[in-house]
Structures are given as structure tokens and as C-alpha cells.
Structure 1
């Protein structure tokens, strides 16, 4: 639970998977956050993350209406 501070600069890159996610048990391709950020940016918005190991992560999306 939570994202390492070392991984945060890379989590929105296509196919990036943090060290803990690089096993067959967790699954995923590492493309979801990249797609989400592309959609948000296409609408003129911003996407940010705050995370703490063993506590969790909070993703914030801001789009002006």
C-alpha cells in the first residue's frame, strides 16, 4: 500500500511498474495512470499524487469547467 517516493516521478509514464509491482501476483501492465493523465491533460486539467508507504495514496484531478 502506498507508492515509494523513488517511484512517484515515474508513475505516470507508460508501462512503468514500481519495484513491488514487478511480479505476476499483482498483475497490470502499468498503462492505466498514463492513460488517465493523458485524458486529464487533454481537457486542460492537472493530475497529482500524494502517497505514504503503508498508508495509501491520494490522486487529485483538477479540471476547470
Structure 2
């Protein structure tokens, strides 16, 4: 379904959840992406998030980019 653009900058904050209603079908604490970002940073990697809401090509893409090996 995609994630609205205004939520993307906050997705990696601890305990941030887009849908905070108690009637949510899926659980979650809002820690998953915060943990991923922390581990990625420890490895000098970057977490990139892209998302499209609605339309034929909707959904979200989460990408980890790790630095390349140094050239010798």
C-alpha cells in the first residue's frame, strides 16, 4: 500500500508507528527499523527508504547500502 512521504523521515525513530490505533491487525513496537539503522551505521552502511502510495506501482523499498572494499 505504500507509506506517505511525511512518515518516511521518522520511520527509523525508536517506537515510531504510523498507525497507533489499538485495533491494528499487525503488532509491532516501532523498534525494527531503528535497530536496522543502528546496525547499518555500525557497519558504515546507509538505510534508504523509498515508497509510493496508490496507483499501479505502489509499495515500499528498503535498501541497505554498504561501503565498497577499499581499492589497493
TM > 0.5 fold call: yes
SS at 2:62's partner residue?
A: strand
What is the CA–CA distance in structure 1 between the aligned matches of 2:7 and 2:65, rounded to whole Å? 22
Q: Tell me what 2:50 maps to.
A: 50
Q: Tell me what 1:41 maps to.
A: 41
What is the CA–CA distance in structure 2 between the aligned matches of 1:51 and 1:60, rounded to whole Å? 11
**1:6 maps to 2:18:** no
TM-score (norm: length of structure 1) = 0.86
What is the CA–CA distance in structure 1 between the aligned matches of 2:65 and 2:5, rounded to whole Å? 22
Asked which structure has the greater CA Rg, the reply is: 2
TM-score (norm: length of structure 2) = 0.79
Unaligned residue ranges in structure 2 (runs of 5+): none
Q: Tell me what 1:59 maps to.
A: 62
Runs of 4+ in 1 over 6 A off after TM superposition: none
How far residue 26 of structure 1 moved from its aligned partner, in angstroms, is 2.2
Aligned-pair Cα RMSD in Å: 1.2
